[in-house]
Structures are given as structure tokens and as C-alpha cells.
Chain A
């Protein structure tokens, strides 16, 4: 099993550009999450999904959008990138109140 796969691993964007971070899981988990982690800080929840077609905002949703058309995929869209969005982004999935399974992270720099 691949678990949770994130792409790309690294990306540099210019201010105002847009991009999509991809996340896919092969564990048939209903719950999926996007977090961001700034240097030396804890993880902040951006968006989450409890199943295909259902998404909801977390702590820091501004500047991001998500969709969940399938159980496996949960892409995160950044519109009009800003330097404040420079961070490491983690995608995670879960079958419920049990453990979160994380991807390896996507390091984004906005210049």
C-alpha cells in the first residue's frame, strides 16, 4: 500500500500564481485533511472532508479551496499565491476517530 501520496514535494511560485497540491490515499478512508506547518510551529488545519462531496473549513481556510469528488483524492487549490502561504503542506486521511495517516508533505515557497 502506498498510503497517502502528495505531489509535488517541492514547488516555487511567484506571487499571484495559482497551483494545486494533489493528495491521494489508497486506504479507502472517508476522512481527509489538509494542514500547513510554518517553520517551528504546529500544524494548522486548512480544510477537511468527511466523505466524497463533503468539505468544510478548518482553522486557516482563507486563500485555499478544496474539492472531494472521489474517496481517494483531495486536492488543495491555492489561488493568487502570497508570501504568507510559504509553508509545508501535509495531507492526511483517517477512517474515523483512530489515527491520522500523513503524506510526506509538500514544501511550497512563494516569492
Chain B
């Protein structure tokens, strides 16, 4: 599976848009890109998944360029409750899901 690389931490003010980029240079044709959010003392929670171009749901957008070697999670107008660790995963066929170190996002009032 492709290894993923993300920034270790990010800070943002409340109300701003936050973009977290993940690098996955060795992504394979069948791989999907999935993002999770984790609060302290809880299991990760699914945010969004995509294969290529752009995917949007009620909480986030996921941008994947044509070469699929990176992806960007976009969180619009973050609030204090968005302070969490965000993980980018490259997943294939439901067999194995490897989490990287994640990005710790701190939202500042």
C-alpha cells in the first residue's frame, strides 16, 4: 500500500477554511483515498472518500489531482469543535487500512 505523508500539525482561526494536504506518491490504480477525524479518547470517524477529481459532502471537500499522488482535505469555516487529528489513508479493496501519523489541527478562537 502507498505510504502517506501529512504535516504533523496545523493551526487555524475559527471561521477560516483549512486545507490539509496528503502525499501518496506510490498510489496504485485500485487505491481509494479516505480521510478520518479522531478526537481524544475516541476511535477515528470517517469524513470523506474519493478516487479522483473532487468529492464534496456536508462536512468537507476532497480534491485529488489527475496524477493522484496527493490529495487535499478542505474544511470550510472551521469551528473549535474541529480541533482533532486528521488522517489520510490509501485503501484498497477493504483488505488493509494503514494510518499514518496524522495532522493535528488546532482551531484558535
Chain A residues in the interface with B (C-beta under 8 A): 30-31, 33, 35, 41-45, 48, 50, 56, 58-59, 88, 90, 92, 94-105
Q: Taking each of A92, A96, A100, A103, which has the highest tally of chain B beta carbons within 10 Å of its own beta carbon?
A: A100
Question: Interface size of B by Cβ–Cβ distance < 8 Å?
Answer: 23
Q: How far is the CB of A94 from chain B (nearest CB, A)?
A: 5
Interface string of B26-50 (1 = CB under 8 A from A): 0000001010100001111110010
List B contacts of A101 (CB < 8 A).
Answer: 46
Query: In the complex, A42→B100 CA distance in Å?
Result: 6
Query: In the complex, A44→B95 CA distance in Å?
Result: 14
Check A58–B96 contact: CB distance below 8 A: yes
Partner of B42, one of A33, A35, A45, A105: A105
9-residue interface stretch from B10-18, B66-74, B86-94:
B86-94
Residue of chain A at shortest CB distance from B36 = A100
List A contacts of B101 (CB < 8 A).
Answer: 41-42
Check A94–B41 contact: CB distance below 8 A: no
Check A104–B92 contact: CB distance below 8 A: no
Query: In the complex, A10→B100 CA distance in Å?
Result: 25
Query: In the complex, A37→B8 CA distance in Å?
Result: 16
14 pairs of residues in contact across A and B, judged by CB atoms under 8 Å: A30-B94, A42-B87, A42-B99, A44-B99, A45-B96, A50-B94, A56-B95, A95-B94, A96-B93, A97-B32, A98-B94, A99-B46, A100-B46, A102-B42
Residue of chain A at shortest CB distance from B104 = A40
Residue of chain B at shortest CB distance from A107 = B41
Q: How far is the CB of B97 from chain A (nearest CB, A)?
A: 6
